[in-house]
């Protein structure tokens, strides 16, 4: 039996960075990732980056350097974890 050991809240409402609400119907069906990394926010000076979390559309996240390598590594871990279940 698997037990949950992470401190990630079970409900999106309880998270510190809930998914953004979209009023735009076109963005409504868009897949987004909660990414932890270096970002330049509107309130930052040019060239300044802060370590934080931000919801990023999949098509923008896929443009990051090394994205495909990370996706492939993740998929390999999933296959290994799933193997004992089949």
- Condensed to tens digits (0 to 9), the pLDDT of residues 13-62 reads 566 666 677 666 565 677 888 888 888 888 889 989 888 888 888 888 88
Say if 22 falls within a structural domain. no
Say if 24 falls within a structural domain. no
Count up the domains in the chain and report the number.
Answer: 1
Query: CA-CA distance, 76 to 70, in Å (whole number)?
Result: 10
Query: CA-CA distance, 43 to 27, in Å (whole number)?
Result: 24
User: Quick one: CA torsion of 40, 51, 33, 44, rounded to 10 degrees?
Assistant: -20
Say if 81 falls within a structural domain. yes
Structure tokens at 55: 């919801």
Say if 1 falls within a structural domain. no
Say if 54 falls within a structural domain. yes
Say if 23 falls within a structural domain. no
Instruction: Give residue 44's domain range.
Output: 12-17+30-85
This prediction's pTM: 0.52
């Amino acid at each position: 039996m698997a037990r949950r050991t992470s401190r990630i809240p079970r409900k999106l409402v309880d998270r510190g960075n809930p998914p953004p609400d979209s009023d735009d119907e076109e963005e409504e069906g868009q897949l987004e990732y909660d990414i932890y990394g270096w970002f330049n926010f509107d309130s930052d000076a040019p060239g300044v980056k802060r370590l934080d979390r931000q919801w990023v559309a999949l098509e923008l996240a896929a443009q990051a350097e090394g994205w495909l390598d990370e996706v492939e590594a993740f998929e390999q871990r999933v296959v290994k974890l799933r193997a004992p279940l089949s």
